[in-house]
Every structure is written in structure tokens, then in C-alpha cells.
């Protein structure tokens, strides 16, 4: 108790003396120094407090801002999705445009009237057999119509229409086992029958045993074909198969002129009339395009 009193008296004396000195000599250097030191000690908590208060006061505004940003983010994501779709469509359209431009750049001799169609469905199981195209009876497509495709400015026979619906048709590719086309070799005029194998290559049968063949020879549709227009390219000799002693003819493997794996557009022949006069100027061709029909030649 006495110790407490004594200690408190000492404290009282010390604190009072110090305070009185400060009060009496506020402008003296030691007091100014003390003041400065105290400011160094006391201001940081105030500064931190100020920063914390600012931070806390900005929390509701930040939270609202965050909500708004979230909403905006969602909206922008939706817009981005739409833009992605649009972009995909645009890219498709550009690609399509490029292809069409390439096709239109091709100078055709207008032998066959028909319409362009796009491949709209391809079954992976029947990759080399059939495809669906987006033109049908309403567009003038008829059963057994010949179908051509153009690659590197060359038209080539790729099959015939086997099923016609109002807006859709099924195209049986030449590579299907059920396909067969009377064909001949362009240089030697040996004639045979092309049949599909269900794969990427074709098979040309019934060629004479004594005939000689060169790789890369072009194979065209024979004039004897009742279904397909004559002289249209089908493919090129890829391989001469070894002679089968049980067969009385030679067999060639033919590689189609057009890569059927990347078929995008096809040309469906609507009529095979007599050969029209030489190529029309661009204006005439444009008129035909407007009417929804176009022509192509081998």
C-alpha cells in the first residue's frame, strides 16, 4: 500500500513536471523534439486507421461495383457467345465465298444445266458411300441425276441421286459398292466398268488382258453410259492389279479426281441436253445463276 502510494507519487511528480515543462516552454527545442518524436509514434496508428476506415467505407460501394461488374460480365459473356456464333457463321460464309469464287473463276464450257448443292450430312459409317445434299425435288432434282464436283478447276463425276425428297436428296457416291459407271481410258480408249469398293479407290473391270496401262492415265465416262454424261473425268489410274488366273480381264485401281473426303459442294445435273454453243459471257452466266441454275462442264 505504502509502496503503491510512493510509486504513484513519484509518477505524479514525474508526469506533472514533464507536463508543466511542456506547458511552460512549448517552443523550446527539447519540447519540440519531444513533440516530433510523439508525432512519429502516434501518427502511424491514425494513418492506418484512416486507411482502414476508407477501405471499410468503400466496401459497400465496391460490393455494389462487384455485383454490377458480375452482371456486366455475364451480359458480356452472352454477347461474346453470340459474337462467337456470328464469327463462326462469318468464317463459314467467308470460306464458302472463297470456294464459290474459286468455282466461279473456273471457266466452264456450259454443257450441262444444273444446280449447286451443299453437302449437309455425311455418315461416318458410310463415308465413301452416300451423302445428303440440301437440294431436292422442289429445286428440280430428279432421281438418277448425275452429280459432279469441281476440284482444281476440273469437274469430275462423283455419283448420282438415288433418293429425292422435297428439299433434300441422297447422293450415291461412285465409291459405293452399288455404283457402277461405264468408263474409258482417255489415251487408249480401252473401255471398262468402274465399280465402287466402299473405300477411297475405285475399280475398273473388264479391260482386255493384252492391254497396257500407264499410271496416272485419266479415266472418263464412256459415251455408252445411259445415266451419266459422257467424257466427264472420273479419276486416274492408280494401280494395275495383278492378273487373276481365274478372270479373263484385267482390273485397275482408279483414284477419283475429286477428293471425296472433303466434299463440300456438288453440282447436280438437271438435264443433259445437246451441247450448247461456246461459253457465254459473264452476264449471261449471271442470269442463269439468278434463276437458280448453273452449268458446268468437264
Partner 1 sequence: MKYIFWPVLFVGALVLQWWWSTYLSIGGLAPQCLLVLTVAVAAYRGPEMGQGMGFFWGLFLDTLGVHLFGAHALLLSLMGFLVGRLRRQVDVASLPPQVLAVWVLSIIYSLLYHLLGLMFLREFLWWGWWAFVFVPIMNACLAPFVFYLIDWTERATG
Is residue 16 near partner 1 by the rule CB under 8 A?
A: yes
Do residues 198 and 128 lie in contact, with contact meaning Cβ atoms separated by under 8 Å? yes
The one among 20, 33, 80, 247 contacting partner 1 by CB under 8 A: 20
Is residue 33 near partner 1 by the rule CB under 8 A?
A: no
The one among 2, 24, 212, 216 contacting partner 1 by CB under 8 A: 24
Q: Which span sits near partner 1 by CB under 8 A: 33-41, 99-107, 118-126, 155-163? A: 33-41
Map the footprint of partner 1 across residues 51-70, applying CB under 8 A.
53
Least Å distance, CB 12 to partner 1, is 5
Q: Kindly give, in sequence order, each residue whose CB lies less than 8 Å from that of residue 168, ignoring residues fewer than 6 positions away.
A: 120, 132, 133, 134, 135, 136
Q: How many angstroms separate the CA atoms of 139 and 211, rounded?
A: 44
Is residue 35 near partner 1 by the rule CB under 8 A?
A: yes
Q: Where are the beta strands (DSSP E) in 165-201?
A: 169-173, 180-185, 191-196
The residue among 56 and 282 lying less far from partner 1, judged by its C-beta, is 56
- The single residue listed with the C-alpha cell 457465254 is 280
The one among 30, 33, 49, 85 contacting partner 1 by CB under 8 A: 49
Is residue 240 near partner 1 by the rule CB under 8 A?
A: no
Q: How many angstroms separate the CA atoms of 149 and 247, rounded?
A: 33
Number of residues that bind partner 1 (CB under 8 A): 26
Least Å distance, CB 65 to partner 1, is 22
> Within the chain, how many helices (H) and strands (E) appear?
3, 13
Characterize the bridge pairing of strands 169-173 and 180-185: unpaired
Do residues 110 and 282 lie in contact, with contact meaning Cβ atoms separated by under 8 Å? no
Binding mask 125-164 for partner 1 (x = CB under 8 A): ----------------------------------------
Please list the residues that pair with 195 across neighbouring strands: 180, 203
Is residue 18 near partner 1 by the rule CB under 8 A?
A: yes
Is residue 221 exposed (0-12), middle (13-18) or buried (19+ Cβ within 10 Å)? buried
Is residue 28 near partner 1 by the rule CB under 8 A?
A: no
Q: How many angstroms separate the CA atoms of 288 and 108, rounded?
A: 13
Q: Which span sits near partner 1 by CB under 8 A: 48-56, 86-94, 224-232, 234-242? A: 48-56
Site for partner 1, rule CB under 8 A? 4-5, 7-8, 11-12, 15-16, 18-24, 26, 31, 35, 38-39, 42, 45-46, 48-49, 53
Amino acid at each position: 500500500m505504502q509502496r503503491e502510494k510512493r510509486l504513484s507519487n513519484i509518477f505524479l511528480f514525474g508526469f506533472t513536471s514533464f507536463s508543466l515543462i511542456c506547458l511552460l516552454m512549448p517552443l523550446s527545442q527539447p519540447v519540440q523534439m519531444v513533440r516530433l518524436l510523439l508525432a512519429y509514434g502516434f501518427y502511424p496508428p491514425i494513418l492506418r486507421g484512416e486507411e482502414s476506415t476508407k477501405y471499410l467505407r468503400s466496401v459497400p460501394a465496391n460490393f455494389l461495383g462487384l455485383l454490377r461488374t458480375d452482371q456486366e460480365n455475364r451480359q458480356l459473356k452472352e454477347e461474346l457467345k453470340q459474337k462467337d456464333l456470328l464469327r463462326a457463321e462469318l468464317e463459314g460464309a467467308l470460306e464458302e465465298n472463297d470456294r464459290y469464287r474459286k468455282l466461279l473463276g473456273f471457266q466452264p464450257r456450259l454443257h450441262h444445266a444444273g444446280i449447286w448443292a451443299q453437302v449437309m450430312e455425311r455418315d461416318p459409317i458410310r463415308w465413301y458411300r452416300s451423302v445428303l445434299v440440301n437440294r431436292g425435288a422442289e429445286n428440280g432434282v430428279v432421281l438418277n441425276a448425275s452429280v459432279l464436283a469441281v476440284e482444281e478447276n476440273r469437274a469430275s463425276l462423283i455419283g448420282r441421286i438415288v433418293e429425292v425428297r422435297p428439299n433434300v436428296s441422297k447422293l450415291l457416291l461412285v465409291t459405293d459398292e452399288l455404283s457402277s459407271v461405264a468408263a474409258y481410258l482417255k489415251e487408249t480408249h480401252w473401255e471398262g466398268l468402274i465399280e465402287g469398293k466402299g473405300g477411297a479407290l475405285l475399280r475398273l473391270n473388264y479391260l482386255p488382258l493384252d492391254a497396257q496401262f500407264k499410271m496416272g492415265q485419266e479415266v472418263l465416262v464412256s459415251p455408252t453410259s445411259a445415266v451419266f454424261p459422257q467424257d466427264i473425268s472420273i479419276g486416274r489410274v492408280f494401280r494395275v492389279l495383278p492378273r487373276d488366273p481365274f478372270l479373263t480381264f484385267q482390273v485397275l485401281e482408279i483414284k477419283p479426281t475429286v477428293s471425296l473426303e472433303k466434299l463440300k459442294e456438288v453440282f447436280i445435273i438437271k438435264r443433259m441436253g445437246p451441247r450448247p454453243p461456246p461459253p457465254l459471257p459473264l452476264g449471261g452466266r449471271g442470269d442463269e445463276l439468278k434463276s437458280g441454275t448453273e452449268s458446268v462442264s468437264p
